[in-house]
Amino acid sequence: MTPAIELLDELIRYLIEEDPTLTNATLVIPDDVDEKKRLFRALMNIRPPQPATALFYQQQDRYLKAQIEQAGITDAVTLPRIASKNYLTLWQGDITTLKVDAIVNAANQQMLGCFHPNHRCIDNAIHSFAGIQLREACHFLMTTQGRPEKVGGAKITPGFNLPARHIIHTVGPTIHSAVTESDIELLKQCYISCMQLAERRQLNHIAFCCISTGEFHFPAQLAAETAVETVVSFMESQAQSLKQVIFNVFTDRDKSIYERILAAH
């Protein structure tokens, strides 16, 4: 067992002991390492935005950085570009392991991350591997703003324990039945808001997840067409500091969709 893994019991115990409802539930720390990891992530997911001790941050950061390094970090500058559009990259992989100026998170309007334990959405993954500091930072932004984030808007935070320097959080449209022109315009605005924010921060590289396609039910093909069209238009007419836009996909299906669309450009 690595030194970082050995911290898990202490981290889990801290999160249980700080919450009276969990203490009274008499949670048992499992012996299996994978189960420990799942329990720790679940406890992080349900934890409200609040400060922790300096020791907890230190131990959490050590553990999370070790987990990401073990998974393998990919440097965005080494990724191949699309031949016809030298500023575009298609990359299939785990966005939490990407070393880049900014990754884009598909957030909800509360912008505090996913509170469902071990949920498979990208919002949950990013918050889980960035650390509890991310929810605290988002809470500060939202408290300062005083209202939920608008659909199509974007906010930026540090990447904390992620290899990415920054996380840009955007709220995509949720599809309940048929996709409307308004839905398409809102999805376009997500990409524009993120790139404008990256430009204001003079970032060179940004990696987009497939915004709105997962839990928000935007059709994958139409979402990808909208993403490529919007990014190409922005990069060729407005971009100054931005030099590389990465379309990050996780599934083979999404990779095939983007390959077909990008081949047409």
Q: What is the pLDDT of residues 189-233, one digit of tens each?
A: 999 999 999 999 999 999 999 999 988 899 999 999 999 999 999
Sheet holding 154-158, edge to edge: 88-92, 244-249, 205-208, 102-107, 166-171, 154-158
Higher pLDDT, 51 or 2: 51
Per-residue CA distances from 105 to 12, 31, 80 (Å): 26, 33, 22
CB 223 within 8 A of CB 258: no
What is d(CA 155, CA 192) in angstroms, rounded to the nearest whole number?
12
Provide the residue type at 159 as one letter: G
Domain boundary among the residues 53, 70, 87 is at 70
Mean pLDDT of 159-185: 96
The predicted-structure confidence for 223-232, as pLDDT tens digits, reads as follows: 999 999 999 9
Q: Do residues 61 and 79 both lie within one domain?
A: no
Q: Do residues 47 and 176 both lie within one domain?
A: no
| DSSP output for 234-247 | HHHHT-SS--EEEE
Per-residue CA distances from 35 to 30, 109, 138 (Å): 6, 31, 28
Domain count, the chain: 2
pLDDT score at 50: 96
Which stretch of DSSP H or E encloses residue 206?
A: strand 205-208
Q: Do residues 154 and 216 both lie within one domain?
A: yes
For the stretch 161-179, what's the b/e string if a residue is b when 16 or more beta carbons lie within 10 angstroms of its beta carbon? bbbbebbbbbbbbebeeeb
Q: Do residues 175 and 245 both lie within one domain?
A: yes
Q: Do residues 35 and 80 both lie within one domain?
A: no
Q: Do residues 58 and 91 both lie within one domain?
A: no
Q: Please determine, for residue 252, whether its predicted confidence score (pLDDT) is greater than 70.
A: yes
Q: Supply the range of the domain harboring residue 41.
A: 5-70
Q: Do residues 46 and 117 both lie within one domain?
A: no
pLDDT score at 33: 95
Q: Do residues 171 and 60 both lie within one domain?
A: no
pLDDT score at 1: 57
What is d(CA 74, CA 25) in angstroms, rounded to the nearest whole number?
40
Dihedral, CA of residue 100, residue 203, residue 138 and residue 184, to nearest 10:
-90
Q: Do residues 145 and 242 both lie within one domain?
A: yes
Q: Please determine, for residue 11, whether its predicted confidence score (pLDDT) is greater than 90.
A: yes
pLDDT score at 25: 67
Q: Do residues 59 and 86 both lie within one domain?
A: no
Percent of the chain exceeding pLDDT 70 equals 98
Q: Do residues 199 and 251 both lie within one domain?
A: yes
CATH value at residue 173: 3.40.220.10
The predicted-structure confidence for 36-94, as pLDDT tens digits, reads as follows: 999 999 999 999 999 999 999 999 999 999 999 999 999 999 999 998 899 999 999 99
